[in-house]
Structure 1
Amino acid sequence: MNRPTRRNFLKHAAATGIVASTTISGTKSSGQVIGANDRVRVAIAGINGRGKIHMGDLGGIKNVEITHLVDPDSRLFASRSATVERYSGKKPKCVQDIREVLEDPTVDAVTIATPNHWHALMTIWACQAGKDVYVEKPCSHNIVEGRRMVEAAQKYGRIVQHGTQWRSDPKWQAYTTDIRDGKYGKLETASIQIFRPRKSIGIKNPIQPPRELDYDLWTGPAPLNPYRTNLVHYRWHWMWDYGNGEIGNLGSHEIEMVRWAMPASASPKSVVSLGGRYGYEDQADTPNTQLTLYDFGDAKVVCQQRGLHFDKPLKMSIDFHTDEGVIKEGKFYLHGKETGEVIEGAPVSGLPENSARAHLQNFIDCVRSRKSEDLASDVLDGHRTAVMAHLGNISYRLGKEASFRNEPHPLSENQFASDSFEGMKRHLVDTASLNLSNASYRLGPTLPFDATTETFLDNSKANQLLSGTYRSGFELPSFTS
């Protein structure tokens, strides 16, 4: 039978939601249990940042072979290929186009560490091609994409793991279980802090992309904007066309832990977000200072992030406020008590132990067993976490400028959100020397959200941001009957 070309593969997958049987037939991962001694053959897509971590962790797992490295930037091939060869003694095949891998019947799984705007399409294509998937956080670039990823995994019976590695940290597993079970009282508010220095991306003029970089392919489903040197690699995180800001980046880890500490049925009923970009002027879109309040009904979630280049070192933490006290940095403080009781075995900060390899090991184990229920963080978990990040960003993007002289009314009804706003102002004065008397912030609308339909109530502008626009040839497949 003729093997499909990449062009025909793409057209067929986008048009029909399925992929030619020649791409699927004969793969070990087509639904059969793989024996413990059978080699799992994996391709890594995106090899600049997290992809390098994938190489090291997969390289340390028994009977796993990294067969392909995939990246539109061929300048990375020599060094990354040498890294894989040091682990395994075998040199992987390096390709720029993921579709070459999806056409290879010997590949069992794909790990995805690309920019966010590629996560959904690569995951769906891989599912259609009979491959299992490990996709980094956030799993999607928008809410509709995440739901399509869940549908694809279900339709094609694929193992899809989400890259929130904290889920494989035993300390966080026990910690969140105790909170969810009410050991420290009923959860009322979870307060997330994401404080990490981020430098300005500067202002760069458009230039021709390097000849070794297939920039059209790097762009993929996103709008084809002029190439700038402050885009590839990594700084795409701070541009809406490709990334989701810090709330979607580091925030995904902490949001997932907060969700884990809540009842399984908990879902956001509304969101409001505010902030801005302070301390410098550059070409980034996303806020480097953001405060978001989620209403879950019985509980609230406050997520605050700071990212000025002269900030103090990284701090990631979650405080859980219950009707009995506060759970903070591995201690439980009863109301009215200044001294906290140490929680045995609890994580003392938001940073987990090195659980990245354990998370990938869990994925490989499930690839072998075909038991998706054993995944530490499956694609549905990843989707629900990403939804929260997207909700905050949608409110922020629809916001209007407000004076710092006026406290945002939607936050005044929650003490922790109000206190966080005051802390945000102090930080901007003390650290960024901002004069609040003539400064402003963007205040988004409070958006009621129906988690069942994954739509906003009576807000057409917000609903327009549930999905994205896709270039011809990179359309998002639909799985409606």
Structure 2
Amino acid sequence: MKRLSRRLFLKETLLTAAAASAGSTRVLVAEDQAKPSRSPNERLSVAVIGVRSRGGDHAKAFDSRDDCVLSYICDADSAVGEKVAARFKSKPKFVQDMRRIFDDKSVDIVSIATPNHWHCLATIWAMQAGKDVYVEKPLSHNISEGRRMVQVARKYNRICQGGTQYRSTGSNHAAAQYIREGKLGRIKLAYVCTYRSRSSIGPAGQYAPPPTVDYNLWSGPAPMELPVRRKSFHYDWHWFWNWGGGELANNSVHPVDAMRMVVGLEGLGRGVLSYGGRVGLEDCAETPSVQVTIHDFGPMTVVQEVRNLKTASPKRGSTLIVGTEGYLSGGAGGSSVYDPDGKLVQKLSGPNEDHFANFIKAVRNRKTEDLNANINEGHISTADSTVAYPVITTTTTSGYSCLILSSTSMPLRPGIFRSRSTRSKASLASIPSPVGPSGATSTLLALRAIACRHESRMDSSSSITRIRA
């Protein structure tokens, strides 16, 4: 394959996005846009892109199946990719450039576990080349990208599953059924948290990418920072906006997605209010180490909290759903129902389904309705998890600086999200922790008070960001 210059590569990237939006079929279009159902005796050829971390699990999952053959391992770091490829007896071919995979018409499935900034473009290119796609969470790097991915999947009739595997957990399906039957009453509040202790990534420096990394291919559609500020090249990209989205995008997507499935939540709600900052960690990272986002869904309020500081795990799990007839709490390991007085009513359980097997089933029967995590669900969950992005553009490690997002009466429908933001020196310690229904309510009131207090300092002309789901 002819090697492209970075300028030409980025030009093709923009043309691809334009083609997806405008409906052009001239860029990487598959000759057979909707392949017929395959015989159960025919093995599916699988390529995995990005294998340093979660992608290695993808490769193991597909390689372990009798109906699949692992044909390609792709990674921008040749040392990582070659090492992973050598583990498998099927002897998958290693490539650094994912476009070589898309050029191979024998490949049926592309599984993507790259850094976040590559999820959208790699998925679009793969579907345009006639491949079905399994893509890790978060589905996209921003809301607009997610919309394009959904549009392309529908246009080319591709099977695309998001890597939000909690949708295949039996206890979550049992919880959803319990709520659908009205046993929890009217749902008033859903609270999800992700407590994941992180260490400082160190001060900003001037580093070169590892010699085994093709930095041009690693950066792809994102800015190509030189010199690199972070000492640890791999993984710590999560904490910079150009490539990651902090813990909101990294892990909060999982409980948010499971909560949405359990309560049947759709869309982006009517407004969002968020505060947070990078506190407790002195380093060069950009994303918050603590953050609370409060979503207004009319009669229902959703609160999501992330902490990268040392914090004990919630005793009753990472998810709390409060209804008029009691509440439900739990997480990936199971859920329990309690009455309004806190007395245990029922423990919920059910058979789990292998998330990769669920994807393969849909690939063979061509029924998107069989997917547990259809691309559109992954898109909405990613959008709900990261909707606070428009105002969180900078953080500070001095004091307890917060970023306040004051939502107006303008709804989020599919339409316009109007927000005003300001920085407040309010101490995080002075804001109640949303550990339950009363905590969430008091936090919301406290934040509204802070927002009103600083209203006179805000620019009267609101910034407008389109976040159509």
TM-score, length basis structure 1: 0.78
Query: Which residue number in structure 2 is paired with residue 437 of structure 1?
Result: none
- Which residue among 38, 43, 56 is the counterpart of 1:39? 43
Distance 2:382 2:243 in 1: 15
Distance 1:332 1:175 in 2: 9
1:225 matched to 2:228? The reply is no
Unaligned runs of 5+ in 1: 347-352, 425-440, 447-457, 468-481
Query: Which residue number in structure 2 is paired with residue 277 of structure 1?
Result: 278
Residue identity opposite 1:206 in structure 2: Q
- Which residue among 49, 54, 79 is the counterpart of 2:53? 49
- Which residue among 340, 346, 351 is the counterpart of 2:344? 340
- Which residue among 376, 386, 398 is the counterpart of 2:382? 386
Distance 1:299 1:372 in 2: 29
Unaligned runs of 5+ in 2: 394-420, 456-460
Distance 2:170 2:216 in 1: 42
**In structure 2, the residue corresponding to 1:363 is in which secondary structure?**
helix
Q: CA deviation at 1:328?
A: 2.2
Q: CA deviation at 1:66?
A: 1.0
Q: CA deviation at 1:78?
A: 2.9
Are residues 407 and 61 of structure 1, via their aligned partners in 2, closer, same or farther at CA, if it must alter by over 3 Å? Answer: same
Work out whether residues 431 and 443 of structure 2, in 8 Å CA contact, stay in contact via their aligned partners in 1.
no
Q: 1:438-478: CA deviations, max 9, x gaps?
A: xxx999999xxxxxxxxxxx843544xx59xxxxxxxxxxx
Distance 2:222 2:422 in 1: 23
1:363 matched to 2:359? The reply is yes
**In structure 2, the residue corresponding to 1:384 is in which secondary structure?**
helix
Q: CA deviation at 1:205?
A: 1.4
Distance 1:16 1:344 in 2: 46
Distance 2:267 2:16 in 1: 35
Work out whether residues 396 and 444 of structure 1, in 8 Å CA contact, stay in contact via their aligned partners in 2.
no
1:292 matched to 2:293? The reply is yes
Work out whether residues 271 and 295 of structure 1, in 8 Å CA contact, stay in contact via their aligned partners in 2.
yes
Query: Which residue number in structure 2 is paired with residue 417 of structure 1?
Result: 440
Distance 2:270 2:176 in 1: 22
Residue identity opposite 1:25 in structure 2: E
Distance 1:173 1:319 in 2: 16
**1:74-473 → structure 2 map (5 Å cutoff):** 74-83=78-87, 85=88, 89-226=89-226, 227-230=228-231, 232-263=233-264, 265=266, 267-308=268-309, 310-312=310-312, 317-329=318-330, 330-335=335-340, 337-345=341-349, 358-397=354-393, 398-404=421-427, 415-419=438-442, 459-463=462-466
**In structure 2, the residue corresponding to 1:24 is in which secondary structure?**
coil
Residue identity opposite 1:67 in structure 2: S
1:24 matched to 2:30? The reply is yes
Q: CA deviation at 1:250?
A: 1.2
Comparing 173-182 with 119-128, greater Cα deviation is found at: 173-182
Distance 1:21 1:270 in 2: 37
Q: 1:177-200: CA deviations, max 9, x gaps?
A: 322442211110001121111111
Work out whether residues 238 and 245 of structure 2, in 8 Å CA contact, stay in contact via their aligned partners in 1.
yes
Tell me the percent identity: 35
Q: CA deviation at 1:21?
A: 8.7
Work out whether residues 204 and 228 of structure 1, in 8 Å CA contact, stay in contact via their aligned partners in 2.
yes
Work out whether residues 52 and 81 of structure 2, in 8 Å CA contact, stay in contact via their aligned partners in 1.
no
Work out whether residues 23 and 104 of structure 1, in 8 Å CA contact, stay in contact via their aligned partners in 2.
no
Distance 2:86 2:454 in 1: 50
Query: Which residue number in structure 1 is paired with residue 68 of structure 2?
Result: 64
Q: CA deviation at 1:277?
A: 1.1
Work out whether residues 337 and 344 of structure 2, in 8 Å CA contact, stay in contact via their aligned partners in 1.
yes
**In structure 2, the residue corresponding to 1:106 is in which secondary structure?**
coil
Work out whether residues 272 and 444 of structure 1, in 8 Å CA contact, stay in contact via their aligned partners in 2.
no
More RCO (CA 8 Å, sep 6+): 1
TM-score, length basis structure 2: 0.80
Work out whether residues 203 and 230 of structure 2, in 8 Å CA contact, stay in contact via their aligned partners in 1.
no
Comparing 210-219 with 16-25, greater Cα deviation is found at: 16-25
Residues matched between the structures, number: 417
**In structure 1, the residue corresponding to 2:86 is in which secondary structure?**
helix
Q: 1:206-232: CA deviations, max 9, x gaps?
A: 222222111121111111112245353
Work out whether residues 19 and 27 of structure 2, in 8 Å CA contact, stay in contact via their aligned partners in 1.
no
Query: Which residue number in structure 1 is paired with residue 414 of structure 2?
Result: none
